Structures are given as structure tokens and as C-alpha cells.
Amino acid sequence: MVERETWATRVGFLVAAIGSAVGLGNLWQFPFKTAENGGAAFVAFYLVAVVLIGFPAMLAEFVIGRRTNVNAIDAFASLGHRNWRVVGGLAVATGFWILSYYNVVGGWVLRYILGSATGAYFDAPAEYFGAVSSGPEAVLAQALFLGVATAIVAFGIENGIERATKVMVPSIIVIMLVLAGWAATLVGAGEGYAYFLTPSLDAMGENAGTAIPFAVGQAFFTLSLGMAIMITYSSYVGEDDSLPFDGGVIVVTNTLVGILAGLVVFPILFANDIDLALTGGGGAAALFVAVAAGFAELPFGETLGVVFFTVVLVAALSSAISLMEVTVSWAVDNFDYSRPTLAVSVGLGLFALGLPSAWDTAWLTWFDNLAYSLFLPVSVLAVVVFVGWVIGRDALDELRRGTGGLGSFGPVWLWTLRVVVVLGVLGTLALGVYELFLQADPTGVPPLLAGTPSPLLVGWLTL
Ligand code: PHE
């Protein structure tokens, strides 16, 4: 057996994990949801969800990976609980499922780089989105995006993912900072900030039924939890370093990029008097129609559009490779073929599963609904119960490795995981299942069947 790969450096692991966390969730979902659900008040709530639920759950995934140094399915067997491999399987399958349509959205972003360069969407942004988001063109774009991701993953951990993300992640941050600086000079920037962040407990209260589960769900999604990504990435960690420290850096950076995204998009919208109705609840239209319409109005809109959508592309790509690596890592550990062969096979599988979503956005919504409301919370829940209740003390030992002891943080983490995270996830799951399967819309059809937009891509059909 060939020796298993590891990250060349600790920073390599950190940067790759940040690349995974920072994605469409930050650049698209977070700012618009924040603006709609009470601005800074929502941010405060989201931070609570991240600190109390996301961060402890992330450490749980790290513990499994670093303890076992094996893929996310066999890790459970390696910890002495063969039957719990089902949970690893569920997490891997959830990730595969989500990536199938994430690639489609990645393809849209590719089209928007092109469309910015040529100004193709400048006259009619909504029509452009309608034209490129489904059908043969979307299939082609999906294939291209997936092809790039596959190529990076085929090169492996150190030469592929680590090398690529070391360039990608700093570029995302630097360019977003520059864009935010530029956006601050636009007339209307102040109004944009106010719309984004003015705290409103009323707005938060009014939307509490959706805002609160969204904040919790977003905390998993944006931190790339429940898809076995953090288990997989930490399984390549060789040395003993402080996992809580790494987790902290990831969580903080991830949140800052989300805020930065808001500081870019809202000035653009307000400087150009873009109809806020176009942001349609923070769905796809927010980015692909409203923000695009902003570029259409700006001097040098072509260049700015290319820069902006390239950042979005890079962020989506560094997330996609992390998710692809989950399945590839399992395949590499289990089958006697080369990594490139396995990566291409996984890529082909993803392409096939993504076809319905690329063909018709209604399918994408359906895939996303199931993932976000059902698979993701169930998978997070199962992993957290395993780490908290099944391997509890061992998990704590592993978390302490490389930290100098942790003091009371250790037990606090374990009990937060056992109680707070478990209850928090159960709550979101219950709400999600209720909304998806039980709560009939006015026509009496449960939303899953009716194709109602999901919390993740809400409103993207309402063009
Ligand atoms: N953290 C990612 C985001 O915010 C979510 C994600 C990760 C999606 C990996 C797909 C693959 O967009």
C-alpha cells in the first residue's frame, strides 16, 4: 500500500479548509439573508449559532479525521465502530448529492465571467440568467467547472489542493478587500451599508420562523459541515497542532468574508438604484440578476463584472474541490486505481447526477430542498451524536492533542456537543421536515413536490 498523503504544511491545511468554507454561501447567501432578516441583529444571532453549534460540530469532524487518518467512511471502523460506517456513508453521500448541483451553479458563474467580458447580460440581466441557467448550455458550463475541479483533485493533496488553494484563498480575500474599498467610494454606499447592517429586531422577530433555522442551517453549510469535508481534510493532518485554534481561524475568516461580501454588493445595488425586489429573498437572482444589473450601469462594468464573478468562481471552486475530495479520498483508500483515474470516475458520476439540475432549475431546487432540510441536518446530527456520546472521552483526548491541555474548554466542548448541538440540530431538522413534507402550500401540495424554493436558494425561481 502506498503511503497516505498529508498536507505539506499546517498552513496548507488551514488555507484549504478556509477555501472550503468560503464559497457561494458567503458571497451570495449570507449578505442577502442578513439584509432581509434584521441586519446586525441577524449577524449577532448567526454568530451565536456559529459559536454554539457550528464551531463545536466542526471540532467533532476534525477529531474523527485526525484520530484515524483515513477516509470518512472507514474512519468509523477504525475507531472501533464498524456499524457507524453508515453515518460516514451518509455524510459522503450527502456531499456527493450537494456537489452535483453546486457544480451547476459553478457553471453559471463561469457564464457570468464570460457574459461580463462581452457585456452580454447588460441589456437584459433577468433574461440572460434565464437563458444560461438551464438546458444544454448549462450542462456544458457544468462540465467545464467540474473538469477544472477534477483536474485539481487528480493532482492530490499537496500538489493539487494545497497548491491551488494557497493561491486561491489569499486572492479571494485581497480582491474582496479591494472591491470593498472601491465600493465604499460609490455614491450610495452609505445607504447600502445601512440596508445591509442596520439592526432591526422587528425584522428579525417577524421572520423568526425562517431566519432562525436559516441561521443554524447556514452555520453548517458555510462551515462545510455534514458533508464529511472536515473529516476528510483533517485526516491528512500529520502533526499535532491545536484543532480549536485552527477551527477558530477558519470560523472567523469565514464570517469576515461574508461581511466583506455585503460591503461589496450593497453599495453596487444602491449606487445604481437597482430594484431590491430583484434580490428575490436572497436567491440566485440576487447575485445573477440584481448585482449583475449593477455592473451593467457602472463605468468599466465589464471589467468589474469579470473581477467580481472571477472571485465568486474561485470561491466556488475551492469549495467544490473539498467536497470532491471526500469521495475521491474514500475511493483512493479502497480501490487499487490511480488517483487521477478515480478522480475522473467520481467526476463522471457527479456530472451524471447533476444533469437534471443543469437541465431544469426546478430539479436543482428539488435536490437542494432535500439536502438542506433533510440530509444535511441528519448527517450533522449523526456525526455529533457519535463523537459526543459514543466515543466521548476518546474524542476529548484527541482534541487535547497538541494543545497543552485546553483546561475547562475540553469538557465544555464535549457537553456543548452532547446537549446544545444535538438539540439545536434536532430543532432545525424538525422545522425543515415540517416545512418540506407536512406544511401544505395554498394549493395543498407539500412544498417538496411543488418545488417551492428552499432555504438555500430561496427565491431563485421567482424571477
Ligand atoms: N462552505 C461552502 C459555501 O459556503 C459550502 C460548500 C462546501 C458547498 C463545499 C459545496 C461544497 O458555499
Q: What is the CATH number of the domain that holds 290?
A: 1.10.4160.10
Q: Is pLDDT above 80 for 437? A: no
Residues in the chain: 463
CA distances from 194 to 35, 292, 463 (A): 9, 21, 25
In this prediction, residues 75-103 reach a mean pLDDT of: 97
Distance CA 320, CA 200 (A): 34
Q: Looking at the predicted structure, is the pLDDT value of residue 447 above 80?
A: no
Atom of ligand 1 nearest to the CA of 23: 12
Report the predicted TM-score, pTM, of the whole model to 2 decimal places: 0.92
Confidence tier at 275 by pLDDT (50, 70, 90): confident
Whether 18 lines ligand 1, by a CB cut-off of 6 Å, is: no
According to DSSP, residue 50 is labeled I
Quote the CA–CA distance of 203 and 38 in Å, as a whole number: 5
pLDDT at 261 over 80: yes
Nearest Cα residue to 457 out of 292, 284, 309, 224: 284
* pLDDT at position 115: 96
Substitution site in 18, 22, 24 for ligand 1 pocket (most atoms within 8 Å of beta carbon): 24
Q: DSSP per residue over 169-209, as a string?
A: HHHHHHHHHHHHHHHHTSTTHHHHHHHHH---HHHHHHTHH
Residue 452, in any domain of the structure: no
Query: 12-26, 210-224, 346-360 — which is least confidently predicted?
Result: 210-224
Q: What is the pLDDT of residue 441?
A: 52
- The CB of 320 under 6 Å from ligand 1? The reply is yes
| CB 456 within 8 Å of CB 282 | no
- Quick check: is 156 in a domain? yes
> Is 295 part of a structural domain of the chain?
yes
Over residues 348-360, the mean pLDDT reads 96
* Count of CA atoms in the C-beta half-sphere (13 A) of 152: 24
Cβ pair 192, 267 in contact under 8 A? yes
| Residue 371: inside a domain | no
Q: Are 88 and 449 in contact (CB under 8 A)?
A: no
Average pLDDT of the residues in 290-315 = 95
Q: How far apart are CA 256 and CA 262, in angstroms?
A: 10
Q: How far is the CA of 300 from the centre of ligand 1 (A)?
A: 30
Q: Is 100 in the pocket of ligand 1 (CB under 6 A)?
A: no
DSSP 7-43: -SSHHHHHHHHHHHHSSHIIIIIHHHHHHHTTTHHHH
Q: How far, in Å, CA of 43 to CA of 47, rounded? A: 6
- Cβ burial of 307 (10 Å; 0-12, 13-18, 19+) is middle
- For residue 345, count other CB atoms closer than 10 A to its CB: 16
Question: 338, 313 in Cβ contact below 8 A?
Answer: no
Query: Distance between CA 421 and CA 408 in Å, rounded?
Result: 18
CA of residue 102 to ligand 1 center, whole Å? 8
Give the residue whose CA is nearest to atom 8 of ligand 1: 319
Cβ(14)–Cβ(249) below 8 Å: yes
So what's the pLDDT on residue 459?
37
> In whole angstroms, what is the distance from residue 277 CA to residue 412 CA?
44
Site to substitute for ligand 1 among 58, 142, 317, 319, most atoms within 8 A of C-beta: 319
Domain count of the chain?
Answer: 1
What atom of ligand 1 comes closest to residue 21's alpha carbon?
A: 1
Q: Is residue 380 within 8 Å of residue 52, measured between CB atoms?
A: no
At residue 2 the predicted structure's pLDDT band, cuts being 50, 70 and 90, is low
CA–CA separation, 261 and 222 (whole Å): 14
Indicate whether 124 pLDDT > 70. yes
Angstrom CA distances, 270 to 179, 184, 453, 463, stand at 15, 11, 26, 20
Whether 34 has a pLDDT exceeding 60, the answer reads yes
Q: Which of 111, 115, 118, 110 is nearest to 148 (CA)?
A: 110
Could you tell me if the CB of 26 is within 6 A of ligand 1? yes
Greater model confidence, 86 or 4: 86
Q: Note the pLDDT tens digit of each residue in 94-122.
A: 999 999 999 999 999 999 999 999 999 99
Judge whether 285 lies within some domain: yes
Whether the CB of 250 sits within 6 Å of ligand 1:
no
% helix, strand, coil for the chain, step of 5: 80, 0, 20
Phi and psi at 269, nearest 5°, equal -65, -45
The number of the ligand 1 atom at minimal distance from the alpha carbon of 320 is 11
pLDDT for the residue 439: 61
In a domain, 317, yes or no: yes
Weakest-pLDDT range from 130-144, 331-345, 420-434: 420-434
104 C-alpha to ligand 1 centroid (Å): 13
Q: Which numbered atom of ligand 1 lies nearest the CA of 223?
A: 1
Is residue 29 lining ligand 1, measured as CB closer than 6 Å? no
> What dihedral do alpha carbons 96, 32, 41, 372 form, nearest 10°?
-20
Q: Supply the pLDDT for residue 207.
A: 74
* Residue 205 structural domain: 10-360
Q: Indicate whether 343 belongs to any domain.
A: yes
> What distance in angstroms lies between residue 222's CA and the mean position of ligand 1's atoms?
6
Looking at residue 372, what is its pLDDT? 83
Q: Take residue 59 and report the three cell numbers written for it.
A: 471540532
Give the per-residue pLDDT at 419. Answer: 97
Residue range 153-210, pLDDT digits in tens: 999 999 999 999 999 999 999 999 999 999 999 999 999 999 999 988 888 777 777 7
* Dist CA 191 CA 271 (whole Å): 9
Q: Of 226-235, 280-289, 345-354, which gets the smallest average pLDDT?
A: 280-289
pLDDT score of 443 more than 60 = no
Mean pLDDT confidence for 262-287: 88
pLDDT of residue 346: 98
From the CA of 24, give the closest atom in ligand 1: 12
How confident is the model at residue 133, as a pLDDT? 93
342 lines ligand 1 (CB under 6 A): no
pLDDT at 277 over 60: yes
Residue 444 has pLDDT above 50, yes or no: no
Question: How far, in Å, from the CA of 163 to the mean position of ligand 1?
Answer: 19
Higher-pLDDT residue of 410 and 440 is: 410
Ordered alpha helix ranges (H), 300-371: 301-334, 339-359, 361-370
Question: Is there a contact between 107 and 358 (Cβ–Cβ < 8 Å)?
Answer: yes
Ligand 1 atom nearest residue 221's Cα? 5
Residue 461 pLDDT: 36
Span 376-398, mean pLDDT? 96
Ligand 1 binding pocket includes 388 (Cβ within 6 Å): no
Average pLDDT over residues 343-369: 94
Mean pLDDT over each residue of the chain, to the nearest integer = 90
